[in-house]
Structure 1
Amino acid sequence: MSAQGLEVIDHTVQLTHEWINELKDRLDWTSARDALRMLRTTLHAIRDHLDTGESAHLAAQLPLLIRGMYYEGWMPKSTPIHSRKAKDFIATIEASVGDVLDYRGPEDIEAVFRVINNKISRGEVMDIRSNLPHDIRALWPEP
């Protein structure tokens, strides 16, 4: 039992650390803070390319804390964005994480996709991928 009696919070903190640690290991980065920023930024880029229904389905499978970050700053009226090119998707992410010393480019974005593949259901990953523009979907390995 949690010291505060708030097991749901303790559990989501634990799950969030698991996601961040797995990503940090896959990236081989030194900073968990930078790995979290990479995760949040990539999730936002994915979210902004999905319609509201598919975005909500993805969010439902995220740990509570990550789900909050996922929805942070979201403007559903503005989504899905119309850019269909992978280079624009990558540029959006790089605008937020390009200053991270360990950042290597699209291979680090792929690491986020691999964490998602590992952490949520295969069916949901396939749904998300099928709702992304082909050029962006090509960046995301199949689960």
Structure 2
Amino acid sequence: MTQQRDPFAPTVAKAQHWLDVVTDTLGTEDRFFAYRALRAWCHTVRDRIPVPVAAHLGAQMPELIRGMFYDGWVPSHVPVRHGTEAFVSQFAREAGIPRADVPTTAGLVTDALDQLFSPGQLERVFAVFPESLVHVVWGQPLADNSLGGPIPSGAWTFSE
């Protein structure tokens, strides 16, 4: 039996694999962007699900990803309101992307994670979301804002 020199190596390898899947699914070579997108997904989803659901979801993650998932979490403050507007704003801020890019980015991260979690896990998690938010996390474009009107052109970017 060989002894591994680094006790953290398997943990790092699993986290790297998850990040590789997210990076590949996003179609980028920018691992820092993939990390920000994964972190944004983890935090925005985590904050909108009940504590037991978050604990079950986190338990399926590699240790390093799980640490990122729980970073900054205050269980007594969740779940927060499920509004699509707040979800999009938080995701965009954490990922460092324009709001218009959130559905595509969130959907691609969801697709990547759907490959990594046990079958049906994400459907069970998203069962507590309103339909409009389910559409966003699966990558469907925003048709309207939280007020029900059309989204103004350019309203979702930080560059303006």
Q: TM-score range by the shorter chain?
A: 0.7 to 0.9
For 1:92-124, what per-residue CA distance to the aligned partner results, in whole angstroms no more than 9, with x for missing partners? 111122358xx9432111111011110001232
Q: Per-residue deviation at 1:34? A: 1.6
Within 5 Å, which residues of 2 pair with 1:93-108?
93-99=91-97, 104-108=101-105
1:61 has 2:60 as partner = yes
1:119 has 2:116 as partner = yes
1:130 corresponds to which residue?
127
Contact 1:57 1:124 in 2 (8 A): no
User: In 2, distance between residues paired with 1:48 and 1:31?
Assistant: 26
Within 5 Å, which residues of 2 pair with 1:13-92?
13-82=12-81, 84-92=82-90
Q: Per-residue deviation at 1:56? A: 0.2
Instruction: Give 1:18's aligned amino acid.
Output: H
Instruction: Give 2:21's aligned amino acid.
Output: E
Between the two proteins, the alignment pairs up a number of residues equal to 135
User: In 2, distance between residues paired with 1:123 and 1:97?
Assistant: 26
Gaps of 5+ in 2: 139-160
More displaced stretch, 53-62 vs 21-30 = 21-30
For 1:32-90, what per-residue CA distance to the aligned partner results, in whole angstroms no more than 9, with x for missing partners? 112111101110000000110000000010011000110000001110001x2223211
Instruction: Give 2:76's aligned amino acid.
Output: K
Could you tell me the TM-score, scaled by structure 1's length? 0.85
Deviating above 4 A after TM superposition, structure 1's stretches of 4 or more consecutive aligned residues are: none
Q: RMSD of the TM alignment (CA)?
A: 1.8
Gaps of 5+ in 1: none
Return the index of the structure with the highest Cα Rg.
2
2:146 corresponds to which residue?
none
Instruction: Give 1:37's aligned amino acid.
Output: R
User: In 2, distance between residues paired with 1:28 and 1:86?
Assistant: 25
More displaced stretch, 27-36 vs 131-140 = 131-140
Contact 2:103 2:137 in 1 (8 A): no
User: In 1, distance between residues paired with 2:126 and 2:75?
Assistant: 19
User: In 1, distance between residues paired with 2:11 and 2:54?
Assistant: 20
Q: Choose between structure 1 and 2: higher helix proportion.
A: 1
Could you tell me the TM-score, scaled by structure 2's length? 0.77
